[in-house]
Structure formats: C-alpha cells, structure tokens
Amino acid sequence: MVKINIDGPYDFDRVLQRLSIDPLMVIIQKERTVKVPMYQEELPIVITVQATGTKQEPSFQLTSNANLTEKEIHHIKNIFQWDKPLQAIQDHFAKTELATIFKEHEGTPLVLDFDLYHCLMKCIIHQQVNMKFAHTLTQRFVHTFGFEREGVWFYPKPEDVAKLDYEQITELKMSRRKAEYIIDTSKMISEGELPLYKLHQKPDEVILKELVKVRGIGPWTVQNLLLFGLGRPNLFPIADIGIQNALKKLKGLDQKPTILQMQEWSKGWEPYLSYASLYLWRSIEPQPEELVK
C-alpha cells in the first residue's frame, strides 16, 4: 500500500462523480475508489485509488496485486494531477466572473484519461455523436478488442488495432470513415510514424500543427487530447458547444456568445484557460446525485 498526501482543496468525490459518466470506469462511490488499468513494463496491472482524506486535507492510498514502483506511482499522480495545487487557481478565478462557478465546484481538478492512446481513440470515436452514444460506442470498442483483468477493462493496444479490418469496426455501428480513422491512426502509432508518447515534450502549437495533418484528427480532437491526455493548463476550445452553452447560461444571454465575445471574456482567465473550460462544462453537467451509479 502507498499513502499520499496533497495540498487542498481537492474534491475526489466530484472526480468520481464526473468519471462515473464513463461506463468503463470501475468506481465504488461509498468506498471512494476507482480502479486504474495500466502496464508495468508489459504486464497489465490494476491499481485501486482510494480517497482517505477530506476536500481540504486530501489523502489517498494506492493498492495493487503488483509491487508498485515510482514509475506507476508517478503515473497515478499525473492522471489525477496531484502535483498541481488548485488553491492558486481558485484564488485567480475568485476575481473573475467565473467566481461563482469556481466556488460551487471548488477543488475539481483536471483529471486525465488513463492513457494517451485511450484518450486519442475516445476523441476519434466521440467525434460528431452525442455523449451517451459516444460512451456506448467506446465501450463496445473496448469490450470487443480489449481484455479484462480483475474486473477492469483494458483498451486494446495500437499494434492490435492496426491489424483489424475496417469491417470489424463498422460492425460496432461506427461509420466506415471512423473505422478508417481508428485503424489508420493506430497503424501510424504502432509503426512509429506518429510518436504519440513523445508529444509531452512539445508545445501546444507544435502538437496542433503536426496532428491536424493526420486524416481524421482536427482541431477539436487535438484540443481534447491536449486537455485530457496531456493536461495542458491553458486551453480554451471556443468552438465547443458545451462551453458556448455554459457561457450563455452564465451570462443570461438569449443566444450563444460570439467568438469575439468569448475571446474577450477569456483574456482574464489566462494562464488557466483549461480550468475555465472544465468548470464551465461542469456547470451544465448533470448534478452529483444524477451521476452516482
């Protein structure tokens, strides 16, 4: 068992509530736990993350059937962004028009997807479909081509997806074009043409410039990868409908704000635009009692 203490505020219960939207997550709300699949070298392992503290004095324990090394512990810390103190961000937004939202959702961190490849596949699958169906499609993809350990589902690896036929993806009720995006992108990753796991070394604008050259990856997908795959702190996807609707609600507007309005409002939210995005999304998502399984 590994015990970890971090600076508050950090609301792990809200983390679990938000994660529970994804049917692939193995969460026990009452025990305040989530199970994280990952690899120790080539061996699939499961780490149970449990909150043992409070929002203001957060603490956690990690348990696994494997002997955890610093590498796995660091990966967990990065996923849950435990090394990114939220108080400075909270103080920053207390002086802005987002103060009410940040007070209501105090301690909500930017939690990353468990793996960068998982994040990219989710982004591609989620393109141009509603959230509920997107999660259903992702679940079908993982259940069909991934595998299960200790009650937790592992995504297939890119080299395994690269070997699939397009028809195997379309049988899951995805379009032929989306099947091509999924398999062709996985081939590029497995063959080293797209060095996905080296992207963290590059700045946002370089990643955007490189990835939009890949068929099936547009700005929306890259922004989501930067946010939820790499945890970049200063992204504001202006074209996102959810953010537009959240600002419409916050500002009491009759119609969605214009790009110019959003650009002007967001100037005061830097260098934490990603958190502004997260809290705006959170402000229009289902309430906690609707998210508990």
How many Cα atoms sit within 13 Å of 21 on the Cβ side?
14
User: How does strand 2-5 pair with strand 152-154?
Assistant: unpaired
Tokens 């079908």: give the residue: 140
DSSP per residue over 28-73, as a string? Answer: ETTTTEEEEEEEETTEEEEEEEEE-S-SSS-EEEEEESS---HHHH
How many angstroms separate the CA atoms of 84 and 77, rounded?
10
Whether 240 sits among the annotated catalytic residues: the reply is yes
Tell me which of 7, 13, 22, 240 is the catalytic residue.
240
* Phi, psi at 69, each rounded to 5°: -105, 175
* Of 34, 64, 37, 39, nearest in space to 49 by CA: 34
Active site residues: 240
